[in-house]
């Protein structure tokens, strides 16, 4: 399986075909096994604009690029003339004349959709690939790593395994990016996904509509559930993630999440309902006792460090495919 996405942007998974995602995952697995990609980014410079904090995304991009012979440079908007009102258009046009790819993390959950539109503007005015490192709508890089992790764990028939992706309590308001990207990927790849969340935390209709149409083509089974205990029956993966309500104000969201808190923390009880060998996933960062109990987070079923490591392997494949074919 080859993947031909050279020169494209990676803003969201809706822009990709199932076979392109399958090809990226195969390339990531090959690169992880040391079979492909040595020094393929020699001479390439990747600029990374991070408006928000990041541990995994930022460092895994740096490590991926370096290991393949490339270089990265990280900037904050405050360090660039964006802080003096230079436009995104001028910034993108100029950056893309120096760089071989631009990685961007930016979101403001009080202005839902703006960050994704801004990213599209950057991509339209960039002559080099632009990669979404988390905005207010998608986190496609995280989900590439998640798919690699699930595929490694369950093998070629991973689509038949039941993945429960559940809203979980967190004090901090977080982007629904992973939710939308995983929903999209599951629909494209024919996966068995149960989305569990309290009423009020529904995903964006744009992603629900896409997923319904894609699932009809792929045979994906996507269910929605408002009860975490019920959702976890027969699960092979329980993946916890918090996100802000898209239909509430900030204050309304805080009230909703505090009310849901007690019933939406993944615990041993949920694994007792799951299949033997079920695993716990979380893209991190997390707070023990919020998204999941410490017993689950640090227990033998937790594969979240392998999931984090796969950020680097998945992004090696992505950079190689976008920049070198």
Considering only the stretches 53-61, 88-96, 107-115, 246-254, report the one whose residues sit in contact with ligand CP under the rule CB under 6 A: 53-61
Binding mask 231-270 for ligand CP (x = CB under 6 A): ----------------------------------------
Phi, psi values for residue 126, rounded to 5°: -115, 135
Between 104 and 220, name the residue whose CB sits nearer to ligand CP: 104
Could you tell me the two tokens for 136? 């207010």
Window contacting ligand CP (CB under 6 A); options: 24-32, 40-48, 49-57, 114-122: 49-57
Nearer to ligand CP, 44 or 58 (CB): 58
Q: Judged by CB under 6 A, how many residues of this single chain contact ligand CP?
A: 9
What's the rounded Cα separation, in Å, for the pair 291 and 165? 12
Nearest-CA neighbor of 161 among 227, 214, 239, 272? 239
Pick between residue 96 and residue 132 the one whose CB is nearest to ligand CP: 132
Instruction: Please report how close the Cβ of residue 288 comes to ligand CP at its closest, in angstroms.
Output: 16
Strands of the sheet containing 130-132, edge to edge, are 71-75, 45-50, 101-105, 130-132
Nearer to ligand CP, 141 or 260 (CB): 141
In the complex with ligand CP, which residue's Cβ is closer, 54 or 74?
A: 54
Q: Is 54 in the site for ligand CP (CB under 6 A)?
A: yes
Nearer to ligand CP, 94 or 284 (CB): 284
Tell the smallest beta-carbon distance from residue 53 to ligand CP (Å).
7
Take residue 81 and report the two structure tokens written for it.
């003339």
Of 62 and 159, nearer to ligand CP (C-beta) is 62
> Tokens for 53?
């904090």
Residues 108-167 that bind ligand CP (CB under 6 A): 134, 142
The residue with tokens 């694994």 is 271
Site string for ligand CP, 61-100 (x = CB under 6 A): ----------------------------------------
C-alpha distances out from residue 2 to 34, 38, 226, 314, 320, Å: 17, 17, 40, 15, 12
Nearest CA to 204 among 255, 140, 136? 136
Stretch that binds ligand CP, among 32-40, 52-60, 220-228, 287-295 (CB under 6 A): 52-60
Tokens of 259: 């009310």
Cα–Cα distance measured from residue 162 to residue 146, given in angstroms and rounded to the nearest whole number:
14
Closest CB 149 distance from ligand CP, rounded Å? 12
Q: Which H/E stretch holds residue 167?
A: strand 162-167
- The β-bridge partners of 163 are 193, 237
CB of 226 to ligand CP, least distance (A): 25
Mask for 283-322, x = binds ligand CP (CB under 6 A): xxx-------------------------------------
Nearest to 156 by CA among 296, 319, 29, 292: 29
For ligand CP, the closer of residues 57 and 72 by Cβ is 57
What SS3 class is residue 81? helix
Q: Which residue has the tokens 């960062």?
A: 285
Torsion of CA 289, 308, 189, 170, to 10 degrees: 20
Residues that bind ligand CP (CB under 6 A): 54-57, 134, 142, 283-285
């Amino acid at each position: 399986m080859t993947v031909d996405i050279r020169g494209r942007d990676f803003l969201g998974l809706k822009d990709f075909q199932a076979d392109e995602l399958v090809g990226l995952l195969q390339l990531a697995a090959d690169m992880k096994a040391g079979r492909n990609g040595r020094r393929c980014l020699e001479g390439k410079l990747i600029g990374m604009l991070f408006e928000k904090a990041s541990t995994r995304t930022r460092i895994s991009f740096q490590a991926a690029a370096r290991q393949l012979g490339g270089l990265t440079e990280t900037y904050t908007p405050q360090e660039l003339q964006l802080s003096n009102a230079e436009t995104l258009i001028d910034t993108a046009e100029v950056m893309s004349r120096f760089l071989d790819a631009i990685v961007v993390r930016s979101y403001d959950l009080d202005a839902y959709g703006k960050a994704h539109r801004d990213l599209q503007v950057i991509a339209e005015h960039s002559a080099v690939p632009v990669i979404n490192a988390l905005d207010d709508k998608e986190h496609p890089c995280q989900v590439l790593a998640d798919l690699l992790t699930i595929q490694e764990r369950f093998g070629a028939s991973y689509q038949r395994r039941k993945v429960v992706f559940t809203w979980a309590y967190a004090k901090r308001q977080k982007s629904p990016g992973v939710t939308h990207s995983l929903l999209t990927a599951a629909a494209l790849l024919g996966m068995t996904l149960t989305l569990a969340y309290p009423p009020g935390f529904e995903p964006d209709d744009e992603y629900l509509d896409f997923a319904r149409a894609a699932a009809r083509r792929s045979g994906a089974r996507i269910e929605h559930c408002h009860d975490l205990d019920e959702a976890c029956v027969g699960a092979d993966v329980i993946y916890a993630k918090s996100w802000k309500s898209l239909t509430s104000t900030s204050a309304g969201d805080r009230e909703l999440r505090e009310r849901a808190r007690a019933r939406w923390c993944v615990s041993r009880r949920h694994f007792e309902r799951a299949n033997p060998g079920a695993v716990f996933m979380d893209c991190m960062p997390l707070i023990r006792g919020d998204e999941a109990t410490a017993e689950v987070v640090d227990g033998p079923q937790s594969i979240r460090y392998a999931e984090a490591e796969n950020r680097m392997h998945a992004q090696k494949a992505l950079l190689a495919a976008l920049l070198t074919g």
